[in-house]
Amino acid sequence: MKNNFRSGCPIASTLDIIGDKWSLLILRDMLFHHKTTFKEFSSSDEQIAPGILSSRLKLLISYELITKQKLEHNKKENIYLLTEKAIELSSILIDISIWGDKHLRELNKIDDIEGLDLERSVIISTVKQRYYSMVQNIKIIK
């Protein structure tokens, strides 16, 4: 993979991959809402344009944060699944959710997220378990 990073700083390098809002929202939709298809991502409230969605999915695949698979019962449609590397980002996404809930609620009509009032480690564990359970029920072509 070509080195497209601005610097050797781990924060800057991470932001080079997930620092745009669309990549983070795709990861959010996959991890929290269990979205797996282009159509499902397109239906998000933020209304990502198809061209941007396609380029972000390719970027996330190139950095091995997601994989593109085919279902056993539908070989035409692509589904996207998180890799372990992306699942490790769950704590960051949860921290952003907790921070936004705490500090932005008065500025924006923030959706209530069930379970955000639990201990951080419990939230992270629960989110990961739910994702793994969802993936276990998907029958992909191997």
What tens digit of pLDDT does each residue of 46-98 get? 999 999 999 999 999 999 999 999 988 888 889 999 999 999 999 999 999 88
Sequence-ordered list of residues with C-beta below 8 angstroms from that of 124, at least 6 positions apart, any chain: 90, 91, 94
Contact 92, 31 (CB under 8 A): no
For residue 114, name the pLDDT band (cuts at 50, 70, 90). low
The rounded mean pLDDT for the chain is 88
For residue 110, name the pLDDT band (cuts at 50, 70, 90). low
pLDDT value, residue 142: 67
According to CATH, the topology of domain 10-136 is Arc Repressor Mutant, subunit A (1.10.10)
DSSP state of 111: P
Say which residue the tokens 């739910």 belong to: 130
* Domain boundaries, given as residue ranges, for the chain: 10-136
